[in-house]
Structures are given as structure tokens and as C-alpha cells.
Amino acid sequence: MIVQFTSTGLSVEEGGWFHRLLGFFDSVLRGVGQVMLQNNSYTGLLFLLGICCNSLLFGAAVALGTAVSSATAILLGVDRRLVRAGMFGFNGGLIAIALLFFLQPDALTWICVMFAAACSTVVMAALVSLLDVWKIPALTAPFVFTSSCFFLATARFGRLQSTHLLPTAGLPHGTTVEGIVTASTLTEGLFNGIAQVFFQENLISGVVFAAGLLIASRVACAAALAGSLVALLVAWGMGAAEPAIRAGAFGFNSVLVAIALGGVFFALNRVSIVYALLATIATPFIFSAVSAGLEPLGVPALTLPFVLVTWVFLFASKLFPELHAMQTWKT
């Protein structure tokens, strides 16, 4: 679990209601920052800004989802330090965007967003408890599982209407190489890859997100850019469709894998860099596999490839003596 108490962190204590409210806002911002594994409220604020650049609706949704799942955690009595670090916020934030992106944004969907964000806290607690045996973090798995249930449930619930984006998640099913990759594909793809972590296909959002990362950690920012670039090149080399490459569809999972393995979970050294690179190269393959495997169910891959690759590389690291786990996720 990532519990880095940075210098910007207020102490977790019982104070007046104003102090508590301020603390809650801080938890929410850190929750938004934790979407890219950063326990930093300024980073969270920049991420929110980056989303609002593209869409105010999604900005509001992320804030609401993060707040609901954090509040649920507080009501259920979860250790306050975990809530304050944003650990019970980021999945709710992502669920909110995903549900509003793939379902019709009507009143019922907003109710579902709040219900799903509350449920994600229970799923997060379950995974924390399950994975505690190996000291492995839950990552965004609660977001993936909870959101996917709502997407699948549209098949039975007549009032839950999906948008046209759901069935194939915007990716053409190609057996031949489609489109020609140009310099503009690569430039747009590079920043869209970062922007797509929050489902925002927008260059500016990508740049603002990168700036948010830079505030928290130069290594994380460099890893994100490198991750997006590697994914672009692999997808291009393997003959993926040009529009999907440009949209950053292959990038966002690699961005998260690169941040996690290259910038957060391991101390940097020669072996850990090669290890993170191997994982980043494998991610577009896993994205393609997961995305194709879920297509018959009409469910998008979301960040499941990131979760799977990072879990495998974290579990495996215990057999590789050259890789040193950072203290931040050992407790």
C-alpha cells in the first residue's frame, strides 16, 4: 500500500469541524493524485485542472466519486491515515468518470456513480485484506471490477443505458495494418496516452497531467513519458491501428506500469530499470489481449492490463534479489 506522508501532509488528528473539512478536501485531492500513484494534494489539484480543461462534467464527477468513496471509508472506520493518503479515494474517482463515459449521463447514472463509489471502498478493503498476505497493493483493481459490473448489468437493467462507446471501447478489430503512422500520430499519442489515464483524449490534459506528476516526482514524470512512448512504438511495430495509437489507447496502461515499477515501487538501479522496461513493453500485448478477450462481453479493458502486469512483476520481484522494494509499499 502506498502511504507516503509527504511534507505537505497535515497530521491526522481530531480537530474542529473546519479543520476536519480541510482534512477531507486534502484526502480527496490526494485521492485524485493516487490515480497515478502520487500521494500529493497539489498533484491531485493539477490532475483535476487537467480534466476540467477537457470537460467540466468529468472534473465534477472525479471529485464527487473520490469524495463518496473516501467518506464511505471514514464511516466504516478504516484507519484514518490510509484515507488521508487518498488510498480509499482514487478508485471512486475513476469509477465516476468511467460510468459517465460509458453510460448515458442521466440522473440514474449519477446515483449509480455514488453507489458504485461507496461499493468500491468495500472492494478495496477486501483486496487490501486479501493481498496483505504478500504485501502487494490493490492498485486500481476495485475500479476495474466495480465498473465492469455496472457495464455488464446494462444487459439486464432496462433503465441503465450505455453509450455507443461501450461495446468495442473505440478500438477497431484489425487483422491487417490500418492507417499510416506519422509524426503527428506519435506526438498526439504521447500525451493522449497520459491523458487517457483519466479517459481524456486531449493533448492539453496530457500536458497538465505530466506537469502534475513533475510536481510530485521527476522520476514519475519521466517514467510516464517513457511509458507512453514505449507503448506507442510497440503498438506501431506490431501493426496496431493508427487511430487507436493516436488516441493513446495503447498508452495509458503502460504509463501507469512505468510509473509504478519505474518510479514508485522499486529503488532505481540498473536491474530495476531493465525490469520496468520489460514490463512496459509487455503491457501493450496484455492490453491487446485483455481488450480482445473482453470484447465478446462488451466490456472495455480499463486499467486491468496495468493491474495484471504490475501484480505479476511485484509478486515475481521477491525471487529477484537485485530488486529492492521501496519502504512505502511494504507497510
Interface region with a copy of itself, contact rule CB under 8 A, candidates 13-21, 23-31, 214-222, 294-302: 294-302
CA angle 135, 140, 142 (to 5 degrees): 90
Residues 13-72 that bind a copy of itself (CB under 8 A): none
Query: In the complex, what is the shortest distance from the CB of residue 129 to a copy of itself, in angstroms, rounded to a whole number?
Result: 5
Nearer to a copy of itself, 204 or 238 (CB): 238
Closest to a copy of itself by CB, 157 vs 330, is: 157
Q: Which of 21, 22, 56, 155 binds a copy of itself (CB under 8 A)?
A: 155
Pick one of 167, 295, 326, 328: the residue that binds a copy of itself (CB under 8 A).
295
Contact segment (CB under 8 A) with a copy of itself among 19-27, 181-189, 214-222, 287-295 equals 287-295
Give the footprint of a copy of itself on residues 225-284 (CB under 8 A): 235, 237-241, 244, 271, 275, 278-279, 281-282
For residue 238, the 8-state DSSP code is T
Sign of the Cα pseudo-torsion (328, 147, 152, 122, in order): positive
Task: Tell me if 160 contacts a copy of itself by CB under 8 A.
Answer: yes
Number of residues forming the site for a copy of itself (CB under 8 A): 78
Strand-pair partners of 103:
162
CB 309 within 8 A of CB 257: yes
Closest to a copy of itself by CB, 9 or 179 = 179
What span, in angstroms and rounded, lies between the C-alpha atoms of 86 and 39? Answer: 7
Residue holding cell 491501428?
241
Residues 111-130 that bind a copy of itself (CB under 8 A): 115, 118-119, 122-130
DSSP character at residue 177: -
Backbone torsions φ then ψ of 27, nearest 5 degrees: -60, -45
CB nearer to a copy of itself: pick between 160 and 256: 160
Please, are residues 174 and 241 in contact by the beta-carbon 8 Å criterion?
yes
Residue closer to a copy of itself (CB basis): 167 or 214: 167
Among 19, 297, 327, 330, binds a copy of itself (CB under 8 A): 297
209 versus 287: smaller Cβ distance to a copy of itself = 287
Residue of 77, 76, 85 lying closest to 23 (CA atoms):
85
* Residues 163-202 within binding reach of a copy of itself (CB under 8 A): 171, 173-178
60, 311, 324, 326: residue in contact with a copy of itself (rule CB under 8 A):
311
For the bound state, the minimum distance from the C-beta of residue 167 to a copy of itself, rounded and expressed in Å, comes to 12
Q: Which is nearer to a copy of itself, 148 or 228 (CB)?
A: 148
